[in-house]
Structure 1
Amino acid sequence: MLRYTLMRLGIFVGCLVAVWGLVYVGVFPRGLGDSNGMWIILLSLLISAPISYVALRKERDRASVQVVSRVDRMKANLEASRGQEDTADDSARAQGQAS
């Protein structure tokens, strides 16, 4: 999961540098007034999203498998805890009725 995040961040930073360079050279228009920095960030996000979607497909699938396995483990642990609580509750009730 960390690997996917770092790869996605790397693609964004690459796009940010490229967009900044293109705005600096004058290929892309500058923002209005003081909004130039926000313009560069938004344009970089807009460009990096589809690149990440296509380029990181396999890595995203690997991260998805890891997340699903964690969720399944957590569900199994929760179910095991419920089973232990039910057993303890049943034995406590049985002792209370026997007294």
Structure 2
Amino acid sequence: MKAFWTYTLARFAVFGVCFAIVWGVSQIWLETNTVSTIWVLLISLVISSIISIFLLAGLRDRLAQDVHDRASRMTTRIEESRRAEDVD
């Protein structure tokens, strides 16, 4: 579960930095209103997603391996339980 939280917090951090940068740039060139805030949010989401693809690849791989290991353990337990039922 640690890999999940590490990856999630890293994604939020990348988004936060992107949002701060895009918001700062928008304050220089645009008027502040609700529509510009929504655009800043959407642009930040897109930019942070693209950055995360490359920057967080190692964390994502670690998370995928953790999920795979947990699924394998679960499958093993289910098979052992099924075999125990067949013996009786």
TM-score, length-normalised on structure 2? 0.86
Q: CA deviation at 1:36?
A: 2.1
User: Which portions of structure 1, spanning 4 or more consecutive aligned residues, are displaced by more than 4 angstroms?
Assistant: none
**Consecutive unaligned residues in structure 1, runs of 5 or more:** 89-99
Matched, 1:13 2:16: yes
CA RMSD after TM alignment: 1.7
Cα deviation, residue 34, structure 1: 2.9
Gaps of at least 5 residues in structure 2 are none
Which secondary structure state, in structure 1, belongs to the residue aligned with residue 34 of structure 2?
coil
Amino acid at match of 2:77: N
Would you say how many aligned residue pairs link Structure 1 and Structure 2? 85
| Fraction of identical pairs, as percent | 35
Map of 1:56-71 to 2, 5 A cutoff?
Answer: 56-71=56-71
- Matched with 1:85 is 85
TM-score by length of 1: 0.77
Deviations along 1:32-54, whole A, 9 cap, x unmatched?
A: x6322221110000101111110
- Which protein is bigger by CA-based radius of gyration? 1
Relative to structure 1, is the Cα distance of residues 52 and 5 closer, same or farther in structure 2, using a 3 angstrom cutoff? same
C-alpha deviation, 1:30, in angstroms: 5.8
Measure, in 2, the Cα distance between the counterparts of 1:19 and 1:39. 10
| Distance (whole Å) between structure 2 residues aligned to residue 71 and residue 30 of structure 1 | 50
